[in-house]
Amino acid sequence: MLMTGRRTTSREALTPFGLAIFLLVVTSTPLQAALISDLSVGTPTEFGATVNDSDQGLVWHSLDATIGGSVYDLLVVLPMPGFSVATEAQVLQLFSGLGAADLPAFITLFGDTHDPQFGPEAESFGVYAVGDGFENAAGGSLNPLSSLFGVLAPGLFTTAWDTRITNGGVFLVHAATVPEPSSALLTALGLAGLGWRSRVNHS
């Protein structure tokens, strides 16, 4: 079948698609490391504050809301609906781009879990899931004599799921609500559609 009409060049045909792909990549490329700017105050639950994590698309529960509790308490006795114990990968990513300068803001978001018997400094500690047990994760300390920040070495501290933590909480998370498509994404899809229509009309 002979097709007539103006023949489009490859550049004319691909331009809408190229721009669409560029916009999709720009709007969907994840950050390589979590930054303090990726964390913000979330909607509180009946148990306490939450923290939005735009880097991982998660909502974290504040650590000070779970002080003195065990994983068993939080998941069986007094569960927090929708929340589960954070995995090692999630906690490692949470701390991957944070440093000592971010510590005050981190403690403000996740809460102060320090036990006065261990000193007056502010700190945020929690446990997270590692295999069949739980391992300590350090949010750090504002004590100038301590530079501890981030995740402690594997095996440094492990505890059973029914052990209560006196100077820390439990890292609990749930997936954030999927947002509506962004205007850039909708524009990209629209351009892709126009490009396809243009190729059909001129082929």
Q: Which of 82, 95, 80 is nearest to 126 (CA)?
A: 95
Summary mean pLDDT of the chain: 74
pLDDT cut 70: percent of the chain above it: 67
> Does 75 map to a domain?
yes
pLDDT-derived band at 10 (thresholds 50, 70, 90) equals very low
What is the pLDDT at residue 25?
35
Residue entry with tokens 């229509």: 197
pLDDT-derived band at 175 (thresholds 50, 70, 90) equals very high
What is the pLDDT at residue 18?
38
What is the pLDDT at residue 62?
95
The answer, yes or no, to whether residue 45 has pLDDT greater than 50, is yes
> Does 136 map to a domain?
yes
pTM over 0.75: no
> Does 130 map to a domain?
yes
> Does 79 map to a domain?
yes
What is the pLDDT at residue 43?
95
What is the pLDDT at residue 173?
95
Least confident of 9-23, 94-108, 126-140: 9-23
> Does 57 map to a domain?
yes
> Does 197 map to a domain?
no
Angle among Cα 47, 52, 57 to the nearest 5 degrees reads 120
What is the pLDDT at residue 189?
53
> Does 85 map to a domain?
yes
The answer, yes or no, to whether residue 197 has pLDDT greater than 80, is no
45-73 burial, b if ≥16 CB within 10 A, otherwise e?
Answer: bebbbbbbbbbbebbbbbbbbbbebbbeb
Distance CA 92, CA 52 (A): 16
What is the pLDDT at residue 30?
45
> Does 89 map to a domain?
yes
pLDDT-derived band at 195 (thresholds 50, 70, 90) equals low
- Region of residue 170 (phi > 0: left; psi between -120 and 50: alpha; otherwise: beta): beta
What total of structural domains would you count in the chain? 1
Ranked by mean pLDDT, the top range of 6-20, 93-107, 139-153, 172-186 is 93-107
Non-local CB neighbours of 161 within 8 Å, separated by 6+ positions: 70, 71, 72, 133, 134
Domain of residue 60, residue span: 36-175
